[in-house]
C-alpha cells in the first residue's frame, strides 16, 4: 500500500460524500416530473414521488506492541511490526419512486389524473380489518367475562 491509512480513509470518505450528494440529487424537480410524452393530440407528464436515502461510515485504529522476537523475523521485521493499524469504510443507499399522478394535456385542457396504488391500499385495509377484528374479539371476550 503506497498511501497511509488516514489518507486512504479520508479519500474514501470524500468519494462516499460525493456519492451521497448524487443520491440527494433526488431533491431536484426533474426527478419528480418526467419529460413530456406526445401521442396524437395528447401530451402526458408523469409525476412521481421520490424517496432516497444513504449513509456511510469509516474508521481506523492503531496499536503498538512488542511484536515478534527478532530471532523469529529478524531485526528489521520486528521494528516494522512495532506499530500496526487497520481501518475500513462502507456505505449504502437506495432510492424509491412511485407514480402519483399523470398530467394530461389534451384538446379539453389540462387534467391531473391520480394514480392509485391498489396494493398499498389493500395492505393498509387488511391491516385495519385485522386490528378491528382482534379488538372486537377481545372486547367480546371481556364482555362475556363481565356478564353474570
Partner 1 sequence: MSWPSELIKLTTTTSQPVTIGEITLTPEAHALVVRLPFAGFVWNRPSAVLVERGGQFERLHIINLSRVAQICLIAATLLFVLLSQGQMAWRKEMSR
Interface residues for partner 1 in 92-121 (CB under 8 A)?
100-101, 103, 105, 109-112, 114-117, 120-121
Judged by CB under 8 A, which stretch of 1-9, 48-56, 61-69, 73-81 contacts partner 1?
48-56
Burial state string for 113-129 with b = 16 or more CB within 10 A and e = fewer than 16: eeeeeeeeeeeeeeeee
Residue from 5, 9, 31, 73 that binds partner 1 (CB under 8 A)?
31
Can you tell me the distance from the alpha carbon of 93 to that of 54, in angstroms, rounded to the nearest whole number? 4
Task: Classify 139 as helix, strand or coil.
Answer: helix
> Does 66 sit near partner 1 (CB under 8 A)?
no
**Residue 22 and residue 8: Cα distance in Å, rounded?**
21
Rounded-to-integer distance, Cα 13 and Cα 56, Å: 8
User: Is 9 among the residues that bind partner 1 (CB under 8 A)?
Assistant: no
Contacts with partner 1 by CB under 8 A lie at 20, 23-24, 26-33, 36, 43, 45, 47-57, 100-101, 103, 105, 109-112, 114-117, 120-121, 124-125, 127-128, 131-132, 135-136, 138-139, 142-143, 146
Amino acid at each position: 500500500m503506497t498511501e497511509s491509512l488516514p489518507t486512504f480513509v479520508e479519500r474514501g470518505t470524500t468519494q462516499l460524500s460525493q456519492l451521497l450528494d448524487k443520491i440527494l440529487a433526488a431533491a431536484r424537480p426533474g426527478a419528480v416530473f418526467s419529460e413530456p410524452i406526445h401521442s396524437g393530440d395528447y401530451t402526458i407528464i408523469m409525476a412521481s414521488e421520490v424517496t432516497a436515502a444513504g449513509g456511510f461510515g469509516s474508521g481506523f485504529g492503531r496499536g503498538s506492541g512488542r511484536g515478534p522476537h527478532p530471532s523469529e523475523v529478524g531485526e528489521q521485521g520486528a521494528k516494522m511490526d512495532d506499530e500496526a493499524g487497520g481501518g475500513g469504510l462502507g456505505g449504502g443507499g437506495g432510492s424509491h419512486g412511485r407514480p402519483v399522478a399523470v398530467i394530461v394535456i389534451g384538446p379539453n385542457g389540462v387534467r391531473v389524473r391520480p394514480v392509485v396504488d391498489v396494493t398499498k391500499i389493500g395492505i393498509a385495509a387488511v391491516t385495519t380489518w385485522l386490528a378491528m377484528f382482534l379488538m372486537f374479539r377481545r372486547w367480546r371476550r371481556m364482555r362475556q367475562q363481565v356478564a353474570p
